[in-house]
């Protein structure tokens, strides 16, 4: 997460009780000048912005169709589940797919990648094992091309019915007292 005064980038996901495998409905980035939210049309474009966000912050002027004088594309509100990505997560390697799986208690996402042969991996260690078992892919990507860093779920966006329960539905103990 970036320090106070820095830029934040969020993925917006429609709240859904029926599916915990996330389907990102919208990608948005916040302008570093006017702080308005701008929709990003594709996951690929969003990934490219996120990959170099610290070195190359996003401003409305990067999109010739909008300016800081225009109204925001989307408002930060509770109609959606908003999550914040960490900056500088590498783009998803070619022929792989990065998936986020929302835990039942809305506590975090589990990150998996589907490899070119269909195998699902859940950690850097599993990527390393995959590359050892399939050395032909070593010229396409390396372990450092994968990030299992989970985006942060904005607490105020979590449905009240899901707060205070762990992933198996039990009440969580209050850590403060």
167 found inside a domain: no
Task: Determine which of 55-59, 76-80, 110-114, 129-133 has the lowest per-residue pLDDT on average.
Answer: 76-80
Question: Residue 166: what pLDDT?
Answer: 52
Asked if the structure places residue 76 within a domain, the reply is yes
Whole-Å CA distances, 35 to 26, 38, 43, 92, 145: 17, 9, 21, 27, 30
Can you give the pTM of this predicted structure? Answer: 0.75
- Least confident segment among 56-60, 80-84, 122-126, 150-154: 80-84
Candidates 88, 87, 98, 83; CA nearest to 43 is 98
Residue 35 lies in a domain: yes
Answer whether 146's CB lies under 8 Å from 113's CB.
Answer: yes
**Number of domains the chain is built from:** 1
- Residues spanned by the domain of 142: 9-162
User: Has residue 146 been placed in a domain?
Assistant: yes
In a domain, 80, yes or no: yes
Work out the percent of the chain whose per-residue pLDDT is above 90: 55
Residue 147 within a domain: yes
- Give the CATH number for residue 125: 3.30.890.10
Cα distance between residue 118 and residue 62, in whole Å: 36
Strands of 9-14's sheet in order across: 37-40, 24-30, 9-14, 80-84, 152-153
Domain annotation covers residue 63: yes
52: CB partners within 8 A, 6+ apart: 88
* Residues pairing with 100 in the sheet: 111
Structure tokens, 71: 């109204």
> Tell me: the pLDDT tens digits for 57-82?
999 999 999 999 999 999 888 878 88
Element housing 43 (H / E): helix 43-51
- Coil, strand, or helix at residue 13? strand
- Asked if residue 13 is part of any domain, the answer here is yes
């Amino acid at each position: 997460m970036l320090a106070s005064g820095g830029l934040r980038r969020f993925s917006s996901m429609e709240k859904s009780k029926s599916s915990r495998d996330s389907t990102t409905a919208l990608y948005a980035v916040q302008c570093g000048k006017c702080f308005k939210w701008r929709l990003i049309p594709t996951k690929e474009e969003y990934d490219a912005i996120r990959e170099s966000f610290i070195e190359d912050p996003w401003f409305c002027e990067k999109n010739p169709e909008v300016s800081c004088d225009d109204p925001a594309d989307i408002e930060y509100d509770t109609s959606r589940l908003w999550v914040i990505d960490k900056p500088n997560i590498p783009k998803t390697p070619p022929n792989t797919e990065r998936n986020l799986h929302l835990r039942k208690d809305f506590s975090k996402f589990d990150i998996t990648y589907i490899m070119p042969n269909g195998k699902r991996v859940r950690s850097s260690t599993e990527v390393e094992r995959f590359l050892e078992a399939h050395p032909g892919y070593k010229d396409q990507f390396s372990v450092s091309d994968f990030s299992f860093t989970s985006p942060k779920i904005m607490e105020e966006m979590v449905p009240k019915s899901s707060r205070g329960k762990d992933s198996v539905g039990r009440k969580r103990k209050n850590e403060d007292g």
